[in-house]
Amino acid sequence: MATADSPMRTELPEQTHVALPGEKQTGSIDPNAELQVTLLLRRRRELPELHGKDGDKPGLPRERKHLTSAELAAAHGATREDIAVVERFAKEHGLELCEVVHQQRGVMLYGKAAAMERAFGVGLVNVEHRRGKYRATVGTASVPQELKGIVRAVLGLNTRPCARRRTVHHENTIAPFWSVREMADAYGFPAGIDATGQSIALVELGGGYDEADLQQFFSSMQMAMPAIRWVSVEGVQNAPATAEQIKLFLDVVEGKRKISEVPEDVLCAAQSTVEVTMDVELAAALAPGAEIVVYMAPNTEQGIYDAISMAIHEAKIPSAISISWGEPETGVGAAYLSSVDEVLREAAALGVTVCASSGDDGAMNGSTDGTPTVNFPASSPHVLSCGGSSVQEADGNALREAAWNCTLHGLHGATGGGVSRHFETPQWQQEHGVPLAPTGSNGRGVPDVAGPADPHRGCAIIVGGESCSSAGTSAVAPLWAALVACMNGLLGARCGYITPTLYGLAKSGVNPFRDITQGDNGFYKAGQGWNACTGLGSPKVGVLIEGLRGGK
């Protein structure tokens, strides 16, 4: 058999397993295990550049032209010739080409583990870690020379988790500060705002929501039950924790039980259920009339890529996607970063605004090398990166905020933010004082915008039948996704790739942001203009809408 370094094969760039600290191999996988992988192929034509020299211009929504799904597939999918070469490769190695996916860009292959090992020149092993059991590759994946340049990445050989949620978070620990409606009023959402005809996609990695919680929540808001549906990605189901499990979780968070008294799988299920339910309730309450579509996906490279791709290629393209998870850039492989950034670039080209949370662990963000690191996908230049604030005062029209950084019941949380080590500084950030990355290089600054994340000032949600407080930058991403859906309806045009526009508006006479100048995230300090804690600041919604209309 030809090896990965044989002249008959070519290694795939940076296609290696990035180990989690403390993981332990437990042996080779069953050679007869059935696996499914996704091959991402080269495009017949690269996607248009979206954040180059012209990206610094405001580019109001009505001035933009977005691709359709059909145009994307026709102009930027793989060629039939390349797909035919992949099909021959699959047959030669005992694999089945089961589907061409992702608007003609991806090919799904199915087959036994032993055949996958031979096809891609790697070993496959089982791994155990405190975050779960998963599969990993040994060696760098490679393909035969005839596929050189055709295959850009293989997703699905590795199944290590690619997004973190804390074992215990802040939700459900104190009485809510305000209702969703009161929060919307404080930030200037227009009275009677309506998002009918819009849709918001939520990417979720485990847990689920209970319809009884949603009915109770919207009844308390005196709102009609919105249109909510969920979509299974790779067989993952909507699987909410039980009320009893959520109660155990609350007891741990509130100090009534020791964490060792509750099984880790119970804590994980309850935590994930709180996150999913919070996303659904906030997005739907802030964007009345919008359809909410929840993509339940596995926490793997392949699952995350597939969920985003499925969402943007629905028959009805969503207005916005909310992503309330992430992993430190230093903790995932470069091939994964590039692959997911590429599908986020597709979303931008299609006119979908992707809102991603900047993380809840401050500037260090679970760094593995002792220096600050940012969350991905929040660090992608194709998303709107959402950081967290702490509301200090909310009295009528007066709203004063600081960077979120607090301790509650012994649990510390702070807004993520900093400078990317992987993505260069986009043109539209270059005049906003982004510091150098820890490596000394230029990089994309995180976050772009902010919203309320402090559990002391969270708004009321309902989960497990109990009223509790929203918290974390996980609550900020759905807020901004809902705002985008509302603005799409008001403006009669897609905001789409709004991030460069916001930076342009911030430099103009129509600054739609409230500066957050107090606080820090453990390394960076808040301050005037853009900063690595709260970005450009929190939204003055009325001013933002007028700015996007082109008003002065």
Q: How far is CA 91 from the centre of its chain?
A: 36
Please tell me whether residues 218 and 129 are part of one structural domain.
no
Question: Residue 471: its pLDDT value, please?
Answer: 87
- Candidates 392, 421, 347; CA nearest to 534 is 392
202 domain residue, yes or no: yes
- What pLDDT does 165 receive? 58
Residues 126 and 269 in one domain: no
Q: What distance in Å separates the CA atoms of residue 119 and residue 111, rounded to the nearest whole number?
A: 10
Structure-block tokens of residue 199 = 């849709």
Cβ neighbours of 200 (radius 10 Å): 30
Interval 408-423: pLDDT, tens: 656 678 999 999 999 9
Domain end position, chosen among 483, 504, 525: 504
For the chain, give the percent of residues with pLDDT over 90: 74
Amino acid present at 226: P
- Residue 449's nearest CA partner among 552, 537, 550, 543 is 537
In a domain, 318, yes or no: yes
| Same domain? 205 vs 97 | no
- State whether 33 and 100 are in the same domain: yes
Q: Is residue 323 part of a domain?
A: yes
Give the amino acid at 342: E
State the alpha helices, DSSP H only, in 234-298.
Answer: 243-253, 264-286
Last residue of a domain, one of 155, 188, 216: 155
Could you tell me if 211 and 327 lie in one domain? yes
Q: How far apart are CA 226 and CA 94, in angstroms?
A: 47
Same domain, yes or no, for 98 and 217? no
Which tokens go with 393?
């005062």
d(CA 200, CA 316): 11
User: How far is C-alpha 292 from the geometric centre of its chain's CA atoms?
Assistant: 16
* Cα 382 to Cα 426: distance, rounded to the nearest angstrom: 10
The answer to whether 190 touches 541, Cβ cutoff 8 Å, is yes
pLDDT digits (tens, 9 = 90+) for 248-265: 887 877 778 888 898 988
C-alpha 89/C-alpha 96 separation (Å) is 10
Same domain, 120 and 184: no
1 belongs to a structural domain: no
CA–CA distance, 508 with 547 (Å, rounded to integer): 9
Question: What was the pLDDT predicted at 3?
Answer: 45
Instruction: Please give the sequence-ordered ranges of beta strands (E in DSSP) within 331-374, or none if there are none.
Output: 353-357
Task: Determine contact, residues 373/361, Cβ cutoff 8 Å.
Answer: no
**CA 320 to the chain's CA centroid:** 12
Estimate the share of the chain in helix, then strand, then coil, as percent rounded to the nearest 5.
30, 25, 45
Torsion from C-alpha of 131, 137, 142, 147, nearest 10 degrees: -60
ω into 447 cis (within 30 of 0)? yes
CA dist 321 and 201 (Å) reads: 5
Answer yes or no: are the C-beta atoms of 319 and 198 closer than 8 Å.
yes
Is the domain of 304 the same as that of 264? Answer: yes
Tally Cβ neighbours within 10 Å of residue 84.
11
Helices (H), 13-76: 69-76
As annotated, the active-site residues are: 275, 279, 474
The answer to whether residue 550 scores a pLDDT higher than 80 is yes
- What confidence score (pLDDT) does residue 411 get? 67
Residues 123 and 248 in one domain: no
- Is residue 351 a part of any domain in this protein? yes
pLDDT at 407 over 90: no
Q: Are residues 304 and 417 in the same domain?
A: yes
Sort 181 into a burial class: Cβ within 10 Å, 0-12 / 13-18 / 19+.
middle
Indicate the angle between helix axes 211-220 and 264-286, nearest 10 degrees: 40
Which residue shows structure tokens 């332990």? Answer: 24
Please indicate, yes or no, whether residues 88 and 14 belong to a single structural domain of this protein. Answer: yes
pLDDT tens string 443-460: 999 999 999 999 888 899
- Band of residue 468 on the pLDDT scale cut at 50, 70, 90: confident
Amino acid at 372: P
pLDDT at 37 over 60: yes
Together in a domain, 289 and 436: yes
* CA pair distance 398, 393, nearest whole angstrom: 7
Q: What is the pLDDT of residue 467?
A: 86
Residue that is written with structure tokens 């992993």 in the block: 327
Burial bucket for residue 211 (CB in 10 Å: 0-12, 13-18, 19+): exposed
Q: Backbone phi, then psi, for 462, in 5-degree steps?
A: -125, 125
The number of domains in the chain is: 2
Q: Is residue 333 part of a domain?
A: yes
Task: Tell me if residue 434 falls in helix, strand or coil.
Answer: coil
Amino acid at site 237: Q
**Backbone angles phi and psi of 347, in degrees to 5:** -55, -45
Provide the whole-model pTM. 0.94
| pLDDT for the residue numbered 1 | 40
Average pLDDT of the residues of the chain: 90
Tell me, yes or no, whether 197 lies in a domain: yes
Residue range of the domain that includes 145: 9-42+78-155
Rounded to an integer, what is the distance from CA 14 to the centroid of its chain?
Answer: 22
Q: What's 467's domain CATH number?
A: 3.40.50.200
pLDDT (tens digit, 9 = 90+) per residue, 200-223?
999 999 999 999 999 999 999 999
Q: How confident is the model at residue 4 (pLDDT cuts 50, 70, 90)?
A: very low
Between the CA of residue 184 and those of 167, 356, 488, what are the distances in Å?
Answer: 30, 20, 17
Q: Is residue 529 part of a domain?
A: no
